[in-house]
Amino acid sequence: MPLKIAINGFGRIGRAAFKIILDNNYNVEIAAINDLTDNETLAHLLKYDTVYGVYDKKVKATAKGISAAGKEYKILAERNPGNLPWKTMGIDVVLECTGFFTKKEDAGKHIAAGAKKVIISAPSKSDDIGTYVLGVNAEKISKNEKIISNASCTTNSIAPVMKVLEAHFGIQKALMTTIHSYTADQNLVDGPHKDLRRARAAAQNIVPTTTGAAKAAAKTIPSLKDKFDGIAVRVPTPAGSLSDITALLRKNTAVENINKVFLDAAKKKELKNILAAAYDPIVSSDVIKNPYSTIVDLSMTKVVDGNLVKIIAWYDNEWGYASRLVELAIKFGK
């Protein structure tokens, strides 16, 4: 029997997850999509994408939803997750991709509606919801957990890197900056926003702002608690980001040693298709639609005085993250 998945919120991550499921030979059935937008608009946005281009599968709107690659997918338009027909539909896992239902009591409405499990595609605002990153701590998911968080795209980028550094060299403390493509949370033109920097035109400015990615990474690697923090700098690109990590290690090392450790880590089963490492002099457009969580840029590795290191790691903040979201759903739903 295929795993029955429902997607709540058909935005950037929801649509990417949909395509990833269709494009791969997963034993997964997308049973329903819930979004308040009309079917015509959702079909158009699925077919035409500024970042990823025109979808190679035939897409059209139908009376009940959308048709993609010759199969119809039901679209619901329910504002309250508690009213969704998940029990009747036999939903195994809900991908909670709206960005709104990140608290346990809100995501829990899917469970009340009959879904067996829920994955929040964002950091959770509830401390009693587990945060899991594939390749880092996903093996620790308990059978008793019904709601988990897949953290953020940036946490998925930095946590595997930090795990490798911690395992081989030990980390005294670290800081990170994500040079991050703009998102829908920013304004297209100057206008009101609770974050006065995000209030400014996203495509015209370099925008320093906050991120909880480092602290969320510490939830997946407990030894980093209170030792890892960071900021975000939003830049005028629609997708493709990089994490700039500076860490003070417990052991002295050299650039060549660090790079070898990452090359070796990329070959190991636990980080297969999650962490990559390469010397190629790439730029952000080169990681568009790359399914890895993180691509360590070995040519940028720096070491000062033996134990102060800098690591640069690229990631597609949409496609890479959505790839892990789908894989985590499959693991979680078993």
Question: Annotated catalytic sites, by residue?
Answer: 153
Interacting residues of 249 by C-beta distance below 8 A, sequence separation 6+: 165, 169, 170, 171, 172, 307, 308, 309
Phi, psi of 169 (to 5 degrees): -125, -20
Q: How far apart are CA 276 and CA 167, in angstroms?
A: 17
- Sole residue written with tokens 């338009």: 77
Cα 131 to Cα 52, 152, 238, 283: the distances in Å are 28, 10, 26, 30
Which value, in Å, is the radius of gyration of the alpha carbons in the chain?
A: 20
Q: Which residue type occupies 86?
A: W
Residue positions in the annotated binding site for D-glyceraldehyde 3-phosphate?
A: 152-154, 183, 211-212, 234
Residue numbers belonging to the annotated binding site for NAD(+): 12-13, 35, 79, 121, 317
Q: Which two tokens stand for residue 171?
A: 């980390």
With a CB cutoff of 8 Å and minimum separation 6, the contacts of 159 are 133, 135, 136, 137, 151, 217, 220, 221
The 8-class DSSP code of residue 270 comes to G
Residue 174 and residue 227 in contact, taking contact as beta carbons nearer than 8 Å: yes
Q: What is the C-alpha separation between 241 and 35, in angstroms, rounded?
A: 27
Which residues define the annotated binding site?
A: 12-13, 35, 79, 121, 152-154, 183, 211-212, 234, 317
Non-local (6+) Cβ contacts of 278 within 8 A are 295, 296, 297, 298
**Is the distance from CB of 7 to CB of 95 less than 8 angstroms?**
yes
